[in-house]
Structure 1
Amino acid sequence: MARLRHYVTGIALVFATFGTAPQPARAAVSLFAPAPGADAFEQWWRGITIGGHIDGGITANPARPDNGINFGNFIGDHANQAQLNQFDLNVIRPVDPDARGYSFGFTLEANYGSDSRYYHLLGISDQAFNARYQIIPAQAHVDAHLPWFTKRGVEMQAGILQAPMGPEAFDPNARPFYTFSYTGEYSVPFEHVGMMATIHVTPMIDVLTGIDTGNQTTFGRNDNNAEPAGYAGINLNNLAHGKLTITELSRFGPEDSRYALGARQANGAMRFWNDLLATYHVSDTLTLMGEFNYLHDNGLRADAESVVTYLSWHFAKNLTFNYRGEIYRDNTGLLVSSFLSDEAYMRGIAGTTPAPAESAPPTTYGALTLGVTWRKPLTEKAGYFAIRPEIRFDRSLNGTSPFNDGRNTGMFTFGGDMMLGF
């Protein structure tokens, strides 16, 4: 009953102050042609779209680590092995964010591939497969624009949601590189069951907040502790004559497993995630981003801080140059790990059985990633084909040797992916 009261109270607070980040745009086509003079329900039904993408890539490592794993990588974890990262299908009925009244929609998305190993929800998909290629419900939520609280209204979502923190999304078309930053893997959450929304206070200010069961958990025995978690933040739009956007998003709540720490400690040990992201559009072809992240976990007695910088330069038709530079400090060595089996990551989230993993002592990581994206639309309305090669340099800045099965202080990798959107 105590836990139920927590959720009921949280839901009430969410309806008072709700927020989430916008979902990335997708290649999609309408299932039905619009009909002039159709009634409201028929027009709503005809707004449903279907789309998807296929993404596959490789991360080559000339050092050929003995365990075959590129340390510190989830998406490109298997060295020198091509893999199908994602085969994705989605059905979406978008809401109208500019509606003066109510607008309702939904998002359904299923994903199959090697990336899905890291985006499961306990009790929903984590036991379905034990191979490298697995399947997940990437999103399944109802959406609404509500004319509440302010003249601009509220955007709300409830169900299975992609976590809104950070600039690197699960959808490969919505991030600049094939591989993730350390921050994008170890210092932001991945997926939730809960509710999120955005309150549009003014054209400049959005209030962000939400409540959920925890990072990649659900309910009952499939929640690794007995407490909810949530978000609070603010989005500042149209700064510097419309060129600058700043988002501060914080997350708080217990995230550690009762099986690892005991129920009392796991339920009371808070984890604090804090992410500050600034995006500046220098011109129509040049964009700069800077991210600062700080995470602290009371249960693990662990913390990490990082700075990530990005540059995106659309220098020719269909061609974009991307840069990412990062410094990431894992103060205890408990956060940055590579998981050595296809089920190990979710076993670590659950905490029920030991997860075969490779870790390192406290380390300050430096990483530089350079890449070029060639992206061409398939039609005027929908679809794209993209090739995204990259080179990456990782190095321990304090003398530890976490890379290539513990042999080296640095690691050089190259590779990339190909995407087909439809």
Structure 2
Amino acid sequence: MLNKLYIHTEMKRNLSFILICSLALLVVSCSKQEYYNVPLDANGHAIITQIATGSTPGITTLDASLTVTTKLPNAKAGDVMVAEIVKSQIPTGGGAAQNLPLAGTKKSVTVAADLTTSVTYTRAETALNPGQTIVVTFSGATDSFTTPQIPLTAATSVLPVGLNYQGKATAPIRGAGGAGLAVLPIQVKPAGNTYTGTIVVSTTDDPAVAYANPVTYTGATANVPVDADTFPTAGTRYYQIVTTQGGITETIFTKLTAQDSFFFLKKTTGILSLTTAAQGGFLLTTGASVAATAATAQLTVSAGSLVIKAGPATTGTGASIGFVASTSAAYDANNAIAARAAYAAGTPTATADPASGTGIFLYRMQLSAAASDVYYGYIKVTTIVPGVSVAFEYRIGDLYPHLLVIK
């Protein structure tokens, strides 16, 4: 038993000794480790180099050239670098495309006093076509840099908002307003300079027929008026947009498809209450409940009968609201032009009894003398609590100016 204890104790002692020695060797070896593959200064200290950077405005189809500027912090003023374009291309011997140096693009550039270099290639030298990319490399004895992929992009574009009314995106909608209300915004933005040429927009209603009726705009932007009421029965109009600068021409195409007239907004939370004062009035334009006596109330309700009627906002000078009984089919069809015609053909009344007929009513609401302040729509009664409240859903807004008001 004592022998076993002795052996166990000796083993622990030996293991501890080995561990201590190993740690000591590790500390010594770490403290004396050389800096391999790291340049040293005259005092043996590691030289930590900075990273080369570069920038370019890019190149578009309307640019005559591409310029790339670099900052080479590890170079010296006067150093000569070689710039070259690398482009995806098929090798001379054939096969799959590879990223290879582009023949004839080597250029010597000298590092300036501020350690920058710059190289310029003509559009022809880049050999770029739309959709293609290149990289530009800089190499020398003291530093190097490679750009990210540089694409050839379009200078001419339809702005992301697309067709819009005063910045509010929309579609070409029949009956929503005449020419000049909705516009298609076009921008020309070369990478290297400001565009000072023209924008020529032509149209056709049949892609098999040549573009015609050119309209010329001057400068870098144009707002092309769009009137869906002039679109063909098939509904689509095609646009050709031509821009020219420095003898270079760019042509892009787009198309717009007209939509039939409809009410833009459907709300399901309308309510008029006799017992909750804050819900005694209602605003169809915003979906807000207000007191029946509020100056902004467009609808109110009669005591007892719950008949829907005008509020203070629709009884003032130049303001009114009228109702015509309608149907579920008309409500679901949601055709604003048909709704306007049905209202004109009907016999408007100053009130709408929620318990009569289908409980669906056309309305015409005028808030001022302005044509854009006239709203047509539907009210569909959903719930009646006798002597308490009437709930409804409704449709509103069919003119472009309404887009800025209804919510």
Q: Please indicate the TM-score interval, normalised by the length of the shorter structure.
A: under 0.3
The structure whose RCO (Cα within 8 Å, separation 6+) is larger is 1
| TM-score (norm. length: structure 1) | 0.17
Q: Which has the higher strand share?
A: 1
State the TM-score, normalizing by the size of structure 2. Answer: 0.18
